[in-house]
Structure 1
Amino acid sequence: MFESTYLNALPAWLSSTPAKWAWVSMTAFASLPGHFNRTIFDAPWATETDNSTLSKALNYINTTNFVAYDERFLHIIGSEATVEHIQELDFQTHEAPCYIPETKQLLFVEWGKPGGDNGIHGWQYLLVVENNTLQKITTDPPVYNLHGCVHFQGKLYGVTDGYGDVETGKLVEIDPISWKATTLFDNFLGQPFAGFNDLEVDPEGNFWMTDSKSGWGRGIVDFTPPNDPSIYFVNRTTTQAKVVWKTTGNANGIAMGPSGKSIYIPDTGVSEFRPSNKNPHGRRMVWAFDLPDGKPVLVNQRFLMSPISYFYDGIRVSGEGWIFAGSGDGVDVIDPESGFVMGSIRTGGGDNIAVSMAFGDHEMWIVGKGGVWHVKNTKAKLKRDW
């Protein structure tokens, strides 16, 4: 085992783990010697330093699968967990992962330019998780530019950017057996959407959708966004809709706590468009809200945290209430009360970027630039009850 002033010794019960771990000493990192520097877009182990001892520790961390900042992370992941890069795809963004427990398949997409037909994608990837075979499928009718997806009561629900000046963003229901697709919602009383990024379904089956400027920014949608990025609530029964939140940054992921009484929203105004740019002074924050008695009103807004590095894209909450968020180098696991990052599940560094994830019971799939990663045998249950 690698030993360093900057790393805590792993507990004995982790000595035979099949994965490679680092447990960062927050005390040692509180005061660093010599020169050091990194940007907000780089992970801590990419820190530039002139201290050889620190440099060796950072280089070691960059070879690991799991990085802990808090002892609780050790117990969430456990001693049997592994991370495997099961599909090595190009460095195009991959998005909208949906695990289908009934068929043991993972749906996900290649998103945005330069892929597809000038950035237009009318097909999706389907991964058979038992043998990691991959194929392309097309729904009937085709769903174009799927950007976010959730599984709920045997169906898939997805949101799209729309494309060109032909189709605006919409919410669709997809049958994962017949692959029939049905449009449920495509306008706000005649107003087109800018282009949906992600969605969440609450325990009653109502929809919470993030309408963003990402599709417009990547040239998938031609028309200028009609308003600032927003979150729409749609009642499943009546299809009555309303805006519940707006930002001048960008609406990206969205996730609900396991009780259905809290919701988490990353604002990613750090991404600027036309021209495309990452502005380190842009918004890269996670907001937390409460939901009173399940009503579509966000109350008790609080600034939960800002990522240690990069910005949060896809975000999901586990059955035990921990927040998982795609954060460039890997997936951060966050305490929903304090906002502290407890640890990170790494996707290998380099050009690989973790974008979003889908949960099984004690496993998860991460999709992003570079393909698909399978995290299995976690100690904590990840899948929620609905």
Structure 2
Amino acid sequence: MMLTRHNLSTHALHFLTFSVSAIAQLAAPCPGLPTASTVCINRHASVMPYPFFRFHPSDGSLSPEDSFPRTNTTDPTFALVRNATFLVFDHARAADILGPDPILEHLFDLPPGFVHEAPVYVPSINSVIFSALAQDVVPQLIINLDGPRPTIANYTPEPPVYGVNGGRYHDGKIYWAVSAGVPFPHPEDGSTVLQTPGIVELDPTTNATRTLLNNYYGAQFNSPDDVVVASNGDIFFTDPWYGWSGNLTAAPVLPAATWRFRPATGQAQIVESSLVQPNGIALSPDEKTIYITDTGLTEFDMPEHVLPRFSLNSTGPRYLYAFDLDLEGKGGRVLTEKRVVFLAAEFGTDGVHVAADGSIVGAIRERVDVLSPEGELILQIRSTFVVNNVQFVGPDLDELWLFGYGGVSRVKWNLKGRLEGRASS
């Protein structure tokens, strides 16, 4: 029929009323999961009632207000989101992952202002070794899991290593991505230790380190950020510019890129160069897929005296990519079929791990995202501090530990990790 101005307005009013009523329940308690800590998000909150507003800083800074739970909306159920620990977007899959009684437990307060990175669980000593990544801070830290409660202490291998940013366990050893490249004093005897950015191997049973890679035909790497080791011993690592931005090393001389290093031959080769600032890296259980995060929303435009030397552009890359991986491939045939699988809703994905079932677990500012292998958001863990990296911990690898600015926490749930460097069918 032909609509007059009167019946058009009436039609629009009915449509608006229907739309608002259809989306009034953005959040609700999750059936079968603890109501005090777990909230289900209806249809990924794909339609919010007008008006709604999420704050985005215009000065290139980070703000805790720039997040999904702090979105200002008229829906009263959204208060549940702001106070929840676990946000569920796919109830069926999240229920299997969380189990009937998931818990986020805060374990340690750590000095503020430090990025805590490179957590590695070492089964042979039932401990987690991780890094305090900050200017002029040399020792790492170790958490001993023997006893009724975990205990924490400083940890210094020999020779000591400064500026560890990423780490993985493989065949009894730890492999570190080391971002610092300046001389530093030995924390015990004060002697000068010389170091450039690269890949370092640590034997956790003897505490001995040895440098495996520290240059590309004489050129210094920028600041290796994260690392993963395949079952054949190949080491894949990202090399962005963040070490320079934190005054840990000299200004970059190489493009930001992802590399494959083969310890058997000593050859380092770029295998991916299209990401703006490659960051976290992880392998699927069958080693047929490699995931790499891009935090290219960081723009290195700050004055020399400002640390870190970057601002944020929310329209810049903050993607998680998947690539087909061919460990037998050469040159440009190692990583193929690049595709975006996820856009981080806040900042960008930092450290990333893959669970035994193929779920992707990524640290993103004050939260941890759990995704399907295809990048579908299943659930979020909301933290009280900025999370830089995660690690599956324990004899059964059934705890997820969160590491970041000012703290360490752990999640007890049903999702299990795996010993990396062992391909599964």
Same fold (TM over 0.5): yes
Distance 2:239 2:297 in 1: 16
Deviations 1:191-240 (A, max 9, x none): 21011101001111210011110001111112x21121111101232222
1:129 aligns with 2:145: yes
Question: What is the alpha-carbon root mean square deviation over aligned residues?
Answer: 2.0
Q: Are the structure 2 counterparts of residues 91 and 120 from structure 1 closer, same or farther at C-alpha, using a change threshold of 3 Å?
A: closer
Pairwise CA distance, 1:9: 4.1
Q: How does 1:353-368 map to 2 (within 5 A)?
A: 353-360=386-393, 361-368=397-404
Q: Aligned residue for 1:280?
A: 314
**Number of matched pairs:** 364
Pairwise CA distance, 1:29: 4.3
Pairwise CA distance, 1:8: 3.9
Pairwise CA distance, 1:182: 0.8
Pairwise CA distance, 1:11: 2.1
Distance 2:162 2:400 in 1: 25
Q: How does 1:88-237 map to 2 (within 5 A)?
A: 88-89=109-110, 90-112=112-134, 119-130=135-146, 131-164=149-182, 167-222=195-250, 224-237=251-264
Q: Aligned residue for 1:45?
A: 69
- In the alignment, structure 2 segments of 5+ residues that lack a partner are 1-23, 184-193, 303-309
Pairwise CA distance, 1:384: 4.3
Q: Aligned residue for 1:382?
A: 417
1:85 aligns with 2:119: no
Deviations 1:252-289 (A, max 9, x none): 11111100110011111112235121111221111110
Q: Aligned residue for 2:84?
A: 64
Pairwise CA distance, 1:58: 3.2
Q: Are the structure 2 counterparts of residues 144 and 293 from structure 1 closer, same or farther at C-alpha, using a change threshold of 3 Å?
A: closer
Residue identity in the other structure for 2:100: S
Residue identity in the other structure for 2:138: G
Q: Aligned residue for 1:345?
A: 381
Q: Are the structure 2 counterparts of residues 236 and 96 from structure 1 closer, same or farther at C-alpha, using a change threshold of 3 Å?
A: same
Q: Is the 8 A contact 1:217 1:274 kept in 2?
A: no
SS in 1 for 2:69: helix
Between the aligned residues of both structures, percent identity stands at 29
Bigger Cα Rg: 2
TM-score (norm 1): 0.89
Q: Is the 8 A contact 2:54 2:67 kept in 1?
A: no
Q: Is the 8 A contact 2:181 2:248 kept in 1?
A: yes
1:33 aligns with 2:50: yes
Distance 2:277 2:341 in 1: 17
Distance 1:277 1:9 in 2: 38
Pairwise CA distance, 1:293: 5.4
Pairwise CA distance, 1:244: 0.2
Q: Is the 8 A contact 2:299 2:312 kept in 1?
A: yes
Q: Is the 8 A contact 2:221 2:252 kept in 1?
A: yes
Deviations 1:282-337 (A, max 9, x none): 21111110013543511111111211222100011111101111011211011122
Residue identity in the other structure for 1:379: N
Residue identity in the other structure for 1:68: V
Pairwise CA distance, 1:33: 3.0
Of 270, 282, 292, 2:297 maps to 270
User: Which protein has greater RCO, CA pairs closer than 8 Å, 6+ apart?
Assistant: 1
Distance 1:236 1:163 in 2: 21
SS in 2 for 1:60: helix
SS in 1 for 2:279: coil
Q: Aligned residue for 1:115?
A: none
